[in-house]
Structures are given as C-alpha cells and as structure tokens.
C-alpha cells in the first residue's frame, strides 16, 4: 500500500474546500513542511500555539491541520527569543508539517458555517454573504463498454458529476464507435490501416470549471485509447454559489432570553456580549458567521435576521448595529473550535474510504485566550 503524503491529503481536502473559495490575502495552505512528507498520524486543531505544538510533539504527530493559519504576519527573523518564532523553529526541528484552511473552509459547503448553523438546528438555511460563483462545464466521454464503469468511478473520485446535494451523477448512451488506426498509431483495439468498430458508451457529466484540467488528466490516465475522444461544453444556466455565513430559521419561535441560554450550552461558552437585548422578544430567523464577521452585519439586516451571531464585534461596529436595530450575539471567536470533532470524524472517514494508513486525533487543548469572571 502506498504511503500517504501531506500532498495526498491536501489534494483530497481541496476537493472539499478549494483554495479559490478563500478571501483575498488569506494565508491558507501549507505553511510549514513539505508536501512530500510521509505521514501516518495527524492532529486537528483550531489554533497553532506553542501549547498545541507541544501536544503534537508529545502525541508523535507528523502533520497538523489547523483552521487558523499559524503565520498571519510576515516573519522577519527566526530567533528563539520570540515565542512565536520559537514555535516555528520547534515545528521544523520535529519535522511537523502544518496546513491551514481558513476562509475557504468557512465558505465551503459542509464547512465551518454549516457546522455552526447545524448545531443551532437552523432550517432552510442559505448563504448570508455570497463571495464566489462557480461556473460549470458539461463533459461527454466516449469509452468501450467494458471500460465505462472504471471511467465513471475515476471521474467521480476527483469530484466530477456533483450537482447540488447529489454526487456520482452521470447519463449514458450506447452506440457504435468507428476508427481506422494509421501505421504510426499504437491502438489498444484494432490493427493499423484496418477499419474498426466497437460498442461504446457515451457518458455525460457536469463538473465545476475549476476541475477541467484534473478531469482531462484523469481521462488520459484511465482511458484505454491512445487518443481518448471527449467533448467539453460551457454551461450558462447552472452555477454553484458559495459565501460566508448562513441564515436560517428555528423550527419554532423562542424568546431571546431562552435562545441565549440554549446558545451558551450548545457553544459551550460561559458568557456572551449582546447588542440590542430584549429578553422577552420572540425570535426565529437567525444569521451566523463564525469568527470575526461584524462587517457583514448589513447582510443580516437585508435578509431580515432577528439575531446575528458572530465574534469579535468592535465597539464602533456595535454602535452601528445598535443604530440599525439589529440584535447581535457575540459568543467569541473560539466557538469555531467546535469544528474539531466533526473534522476529525470526516478525516477518519476519508482514511477508511481511501485506505490510508492514517490515525487522526483532535487537539484536547483550549486555546481561547479569554476567561469570563462572573461577579457574585
């Protein structure tokens, strides 16, 4: 069985949350280490901090997957006097690679904001702030009947044939293919200068435009013909939309006070900051954006949210929210750590499906720098 490399894992992950979904300037991707490094144990964490690095060392981890990038600002020196650069040196010394998926994971379908809205049991959710629209193409590939299933599976494996919440989507027609190989040809079927005909299957798929090169590469690797025949069309009527945050509805209206109590239990926080708090007001339409999403509050207003949930709300932005008569709950940035468990389960599932020899663990440390002191 081939050894799993960091690059193998990244290829799989970026089919789920491609880099193209990230906001401009977001330092996502492989921050430390090598894509060629062989790994058999990885750790999922929210933050890469000195304590989580030590945890990785103690757990004999070769690869850290983090949500927040470890290098947000340019590094000018790597001296041991600075705790941050000392941490980078420690990672390098212990041959631990670090990969981060930040806003691309926030935006991805099934990513951070979907996980958070699922925890609140929101229904009929939609994107809060659209950031990207993926154009699609139609691929039609012609294969011998005996090779059609192999071709379908290979293309589905790289993400071809996904429409909305459906995957492994294709359509087939059977027909007769004809060709005559020349003397310079090296045909898989037939002989030079002799007309040939064979029963073929035409398989049609939709695929994101960004997967075009990978799909063509897959066809060339899997197709038995020396010169695979396929058609590729642009599709104008279908796009897939992505964006930050989600907005949806609670199954039943609840009082603001009861909702806050439930939110604190679900997100495991001791306290929250609130703008425009009306304890007895009935609320149902909820917008949520993990991390620092204050600048998107107008989207919550436009989509008629009763409450907007996000972290790191700034003082002056809170005044603007107050003036807009928008109720806001700030449970802190650290609620994103709740994604560690489902991500770990997802990666464990991938390991089973792909037959990777990989152990996946979650960081057990709390990296929230804030503590609440409740006055008695």
Per CATH, 6-106+337-362 and 108-130+244-335 having the same topology is answered yes
Mean pLDDT of the chain: 95
Instruction: Tell which CATH classification among 3.40.50.1820, 1.10.1740.10, 3.40.50.2000, 3.30.70.120 matches the domain 132-240.
Output: 3.30.70.120
6-106+337-362, superfamily in CATH? Answer: NIF3 (NGG1p interacting factor 3)-like (3.40.1390.30)
Q: Does residue 343 surpass a pLDDT of 70?
A: yes
Rg (CA), the chain: 25
The answer to whether 275 and 298 are in contact (CB under 8 A) is: no
- List the Cα angle 159/162/163 in 5-degree steps: 160
Q: Summarize pLDDT for 184-233 with one digit per residue, the tens.
A: 888 888 888 999 999 999 999 999 998 999 999 999 999 999 999 999 99
Q: What is the pLDDT of residue 81?
A: 85
Q: Which residues of 16-54 are buried (b: 16+ CB within 10 A; e: fewer)?
A: bbbeebbeeebebbebbbeeebebeebbbbbbbbeebbe
Total-model pTM: 0.86
What pLDDT band is residue 125 in, cutting at 50, 70 and 90? very high
The number of residues making up the chain comes to 376
How is the chain split into domains, by residue range? Answer: 6-106+337-362, 108-130+244-335, 132-240
Q: What is the pLDDT of residues 257-312, one digit of tens each?
A: 999 999 999 999 999 999 999 999 999 999 999 999 999 999 999 999 999 999 99
* Contact present, 16 and 108 (Cβ < 8 Å): yes
Note the CATH number of domain 108-130+244-335. Answer: 3.40.1390.30
Contact status, residue 108 vs residue 17, Cβ threshold 8 Å: yes
The SS3 call for residue 376 is coil
The phi and psi torsions of 114 (rounded to 5 degrees) equal: -70, -40
Q: What is the pLDDT of residue 74?
A: 80
Mean pLDDT of 318-345: 98
Tell me how far apart the alpha carbons of residues 166 and 362 are, in angstroms, rounded to a whole number: 29
Give me the pLDDT at residue 257, please: 97
For residue 328, is it left (φ>0), alpha (ψ between -120 and 50) or beta? beta
Residue 73 DSSP class:
S
DSSP string for residues in 84-130: HHHHHHHHHHTT-EEEE--HHHHHSTTSHHHHHHHHTT-EEEEEEEE
In this predicted model, what pLDDT tens digit does every residue of 142-173 receive, in sequence order?
999 999 999 999 999 988 998 877 889 999 99
């Amino acid at each position: 069985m081939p050894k799993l490399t960091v690059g193998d894992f990244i290829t799989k992950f970026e089919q789920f949350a491609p880099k193209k979904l990230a906001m401009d300037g977001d330092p996502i991707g492989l921050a430390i280490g090598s894509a060629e490094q062989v790994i058999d144990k990885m750790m999922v964490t929210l933050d890469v901090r000195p304590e989580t690095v030590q945890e990785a060392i103690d757990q004999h981890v070769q690869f850290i997957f983090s949500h927040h990038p470890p290098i947000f600002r340019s590094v000018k020196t790597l001296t041991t006097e600075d705790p941050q650069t000392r941490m980078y040196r420690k990672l390098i010394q212990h041959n631990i690679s670090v990969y981060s998926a930040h806003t691309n994971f926030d935006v991805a379908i099934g990513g951070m904001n979907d996980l958070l809205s699922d925890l609140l049991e929101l229904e009929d959710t939609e994107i809060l702030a659209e950031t990207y629209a993926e154009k699609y193409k139609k691929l039609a590939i012609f294969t011998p009947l005996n090779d059609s299933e192999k071709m379908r599976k290979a293309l589905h494996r790289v993400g071809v044939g996904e429409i909305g919440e459906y995957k492994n989507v294709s359509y087939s027609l059977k027909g007769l293919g004809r060709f005559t190989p020349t003397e310079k040809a090296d045909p898989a079927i037939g002989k030079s200068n002799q007309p040939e005909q064979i029963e073929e299957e035409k398989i049609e798929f939709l695929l994101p435009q960004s997967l075009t090169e990978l799909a063509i590469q897959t066809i060339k690797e899997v197709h038995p013909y020396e010169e695979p025949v396929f058609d590729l069309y642009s599709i104008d009527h279908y796009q897939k939309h992505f964006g930050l945050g989600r907005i949806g509805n609670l199954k039943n209206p609840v009082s603001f006070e009861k909702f806050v109590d439930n939110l604190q239990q679900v997100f495991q926080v001791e306290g929250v900051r609130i703008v425009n708090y009306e304890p007895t007001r009935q609320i149902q339409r909820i917008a949520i954006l993990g991390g620092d999403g204050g600048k998107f509050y107008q989207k919550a207003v436009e989509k008629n949210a009763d409450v907007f949930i996000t972290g790191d709300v700034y003082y002056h932005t809170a005044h603007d929210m107050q003036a807009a008569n928008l109720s806001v709950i700030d449970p802190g940035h650290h609620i994103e750590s709740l994604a560690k468990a489902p991500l770990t389960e997802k990666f464990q599932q991938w390991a089973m499906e792909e037959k990777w020899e990989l152990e996946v663990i979650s960081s057990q440390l709390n990296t929230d720098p804030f503590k609440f002191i409740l006055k008695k």
